[in-house]
Structure 1
Amino acid sequence: MDLWSNFWSVIWWFLWAFVFIAYLFALFAIIGDLFRDQKLNGWWKAVWIIFLIFVPFLTALIYLIARGNGMAQRSAKEAAAAQSAADQYIRQVAGASPSEEIAKAKALLDSGAISQAEYDQIKAKALS
Structure 2
Amino acid sequence: MDDYPLLNVFWTMMWFFLWVLWLMLLFRVIADVFRDDSSSGWAKAGWTILVIVIPFIGVLAYLIVRGDEMGRREIARHEAAYRYYGGSNGGPAKGTGHAEQLSRLAELKSHGDLTVEEYELAKAKVLAA
TM-aligned CA distance change 1:10 to 1:61, over 3 Å? same
Q: Distance in 2 between matches of 1:68 and 1:47?
A: 16
Equivalent position of 1:41 in the other structure: 40
Matches within 5 A, 1:10-49: 10-49=9-48
Q: Highest CA radius of gyration, 1 or 2?
A: 1
Considering Cα pairs closer than 8 Å and 6+ residues apart, tell me whether 1 or 2 has the greater RCO. 1
Structure 1 unpaired stretches of 5+: 108-128
SS at match of 1:75: helix
Letter in 2 for 1:89: P
Q: Which structure dedicates a bigger proportion of its chain to helix?
A: 1
Matches within 5 A, 1:1-128: 3=2, 6-87=5-86, 88-89=91-92, 93-95=100-102, 98-99=120-121, 101=123
Letter in 1 for 2:7: W
TM-score if structure 2 supplies the norm length?
0.68
TM-score if structure 1 supplies the norm length?
0.68
Q: Distance in 2 between matches of 1:21 and 1:83?
A: 29
TM-aligned CA distance change 1:16 to 1:102, over 3 Å? closer
Q: Distance in 1 between matches of 2:126 and 2:93?
A: 21
Aligned-pair identity (%)? 30
Deviation at 1:102, TM superposition (A): 5.1
Q: Does the CA-based 8 Å contact 2:50-2:58 persist in structure 1?
A: yes
Structure 2 unpaired stretches of 5+: 106-118
TM-aligned CA distance change 1:103 to 1:89, over 3 Å? closer
Q: Which moved more, 1:72-81 or 1:85-94?
A: 85-94
